[in-house]
Structure 1
Amino acid sequence: MTFLAGRAWHRNPVQGWGRWRTASFPTGCALLVVALLPPLAPFAHGDFRGHMAQHMLIGMYAPLALVLGAPVTLLLRTLPAARARALTSVLHSRPARALAHPVTALVLSTGTLAVLYFTPLYNATMNQPVLHWLMHVHFLLAGSLFAWVIAGPDPAPARPGVPTRLVVLGIAVAAHALIAQLIYGGFLINVHAPIDQVQGGAQIMYYGGDIAELLLAAALVATWRPTRNRQHVAVASTAAG
């Protein structure tokens, strides 16, 4: 009886769970490990190029992989019904709706880059371990929020249509590129590092950000199911019946 119950528990929560989702979340965890452990972590602390590579992994690549694993959906499937309803209520609360708005996610993920690199904040994080780790946490959470709002398979409150999210993603691409170009040219930047490191870090940010945002755009387009197509299929099915 215990064996049968165990088999039923194992089958029901993950029914229909694809291999891509199963592989995506561990991939995101692995990217975080690479970013936070040697040899990259010591290199990132002493070289702006290493910092930028670490930022790309923590703030863009790892969040995308984690979000595409649909952890909230899996959690909702495995929680008891009462707790799942409570979590759903939180996801549909007013604070969650405000936080999950694409503009909010854009400001928290891309907008704060200007604050980090164009004010003394970056230099402070290099000298104070607490600020350094808070920066990592912010990169991870803000990147995960943006990836979830734009292309996450998990449910999101009041998520706008794909065209709107594509516009927001386009703004993020342009802002990210502009910040990288300003850093490369030495405009407005407040980073205490040799010029070759700053320019190398800007190039990593520019090209690494482009690749990550292309992957995010691909994930978004892959979820696009135009309403007109769905309505056409529904009408055709009704007529055939």
Structure 2
Amino acid sequence: MTHAHHPGGVLLPLLVVVAAAGYAILTAITPGWPGRRILSFLTGAVLLVAGLMPGMSPWPAGDFRTHMLQHLLIGMLAPLALVLGAPMTLLLRAIPRRAGRVVGRLLRSRAVHAVANPVVALTLNLGGIAVLYLTPLYAATVRDPALHLLVHVHFLLAGYLFAWVVAGPDPAPRRPAVPVRLVILGVAIAFHAIFSQLMFAGLFVDLPVPRAEREGGAELMYYGGDIAELLLAAALVTRWRPRRQGTNTARTQSSFLSLKMR
């Protein structure tokens, strides 16, 4: 089974390059912006471009293993690296005060509060995986390039949201304590481990692909998912200061309420 031609072919990677260039410009007008943030965001952009270009995969474009590699890059590894670049904090420091207030009001909106919750983010993330592989949706994406693109967009946004609310340096509303977020991350790790084993065995999944491709894709999900989630856990615990948790939480809430750090 071969994927239809991707509608975003060159345009989507080009948009990522433009976004990376915009980030670089903002860092140039923001004195003292940490180099590690720049490196992280640019790494995320490179991973995202690689995920959007199946020709860079070691397997053919229509191979299920290529699809799974794209899923790992677009939905897990690239979002984490992008989030660790703290793009929202950079934007708020670089733009004029009045524009910062507009962005702040948007981020304090009910819609953002509704989705900026680790449980909601987890549901969107894992739910997308379940729907894609347990229903005929995957086969439909193979035939319909527009649907294929929408699935990539969903995984990118869901992955970014999950990384942001779990371990992102940018302020987030309704962010629970670190131990709670570690439990939520543990649920994600367990889900990926169990689901990848079911996929390897061909149980309950709806994947009209050769067995070798299905098993190879399952192995990529198992080991690649572990790597991505362990990196996310590391990002979370390295920023954790248990003795000052109350102070840090109050500071984060204050930062989110102002959202214009100048």
After the TM superposition, which of the residue ranges 9-18 and 221-230 deviates more from structure 2? 9-18
Please say if 1:46 is aligned against 2:62: yes
Q: Name the CA distance, whole Å, in 2 between partners of 1:111 and 1:94.
A: 22
**2:213 matched residue in structure 1:** 197
**2:41 matched residue in structure 1:** 25
Residue 224 of structure 1 aligns to a residue whose secondary structure is coil
Q: Name the CA distance, whole Å, in 2 between partners of 1:229 and 1:144.
A: 24
Deviation of 1:37 (Å): 2.0
Equivalent of 2:97 in 46, 67, 81: 81
Tell me the TM-score normalised to structure 2 length: 0.80
Matched length = 223
Change (3 A) 1:228 1:157: closer
Change (3 A) 1:166 1:125: same
Q: Name the CA distance, whole Å, in 2 between partners of 1:222 and 1:111.
A: 28
Q: Is the 8 A contact 1:64 1:144 kept in 2?
A: yes
Please say if 1:173 is aligned against 2:221: no
Residue 153 of structure 1 aligns to a residue whose secondary structure is coil
Q: Name the CA distance, whole Å, in 2 between partners of 1:205 and 1:126.
A: 19
Q: Name the CA distance, whole Å, in 2 between partners of 1:206 and 1:105.
A: 20
Q: Name the CA distance, whole Å, in 1 between partners of 2:150 and 2:57.
A: 15
Change (3 A) 1:66 1:183: same
Amino acid at match of 1:206: Y
Amino acid at match of 1:71: P
Q: Name the CA distance, whole Å, in 1 between partners of 2:62 and 2:103.
A: 42
Larger radius of gyration: 1
**What is the root-mean-square deviation in Å for CA atoms of aligned residues?**
2.1
Amino acid at match of 1:64: L
Please say if 1:121 is aligned against 2:137: yes
Q: Is the 8 A contact 1:13 1:77 kept in 2?
A: no
Give the gaps of 5 or more residues in structure 1: 1-8, 232-241
Amino acid at match of 1:226: P
Amino acid at match of 2:121: A
Q: Is the 8 A contact 2:121 2:162 kept in 1?
A: yes
Deviation of 1:42 (Å): 9.6
Q: Is the 8 A contact 1:64 1:216 kept in 2?
A: yes
Q: Name the CA distance, whole Å, in 2 between partners of 1:197 and 1:218.
A: 31
- Percent pairwise identity: 57
Map 1:2-13; keep pairs closer than 5 Å: none
How far does the alpha carbon of each residue in 1:187-220 deviate from its partner, in whole angstroms, 9 at most, with x for none? 1110110011101100000000000000000000
**2:85 matched residue in structure 1:** 69
Please say if 1:101 is aligned against 2:133: no
Tell me the TM-score normalised to structure 1 length: 0.87
Equivalent of 2:149 in 126, 130, 133: 133
Q: Name the CA distance, whole Å, in 2 between partners of 1:177 and 1:115.
A: 17
Change (3 A) 1:191 1:155: same
Deviation of 1:45 (Å): 3.8
Q: Is the 8 A contact 2:43 2:81 kept in 1?
A: yes
Q: Name the CA distance, whole Å, in 2 between partners of 1:167 and 1:213.
A: 12
How far does the alpha carbon of each residue in 1:10-49 deviate from its partner, in whole angstroms, 9 at most, with x for none? 8995233211101111111111111122523694641111
How far does the alpha carbon of each residue in 1:166-193 deviate from its partner, in whole angstroms, 9 at most, with x for none? 0110011111111111101111110110
How far does the alpha carbon of each residue in 1:64-99 deviate from its partner, in whole angstroms, 9 at most, with x for none? 000000000001011111111111122122211110
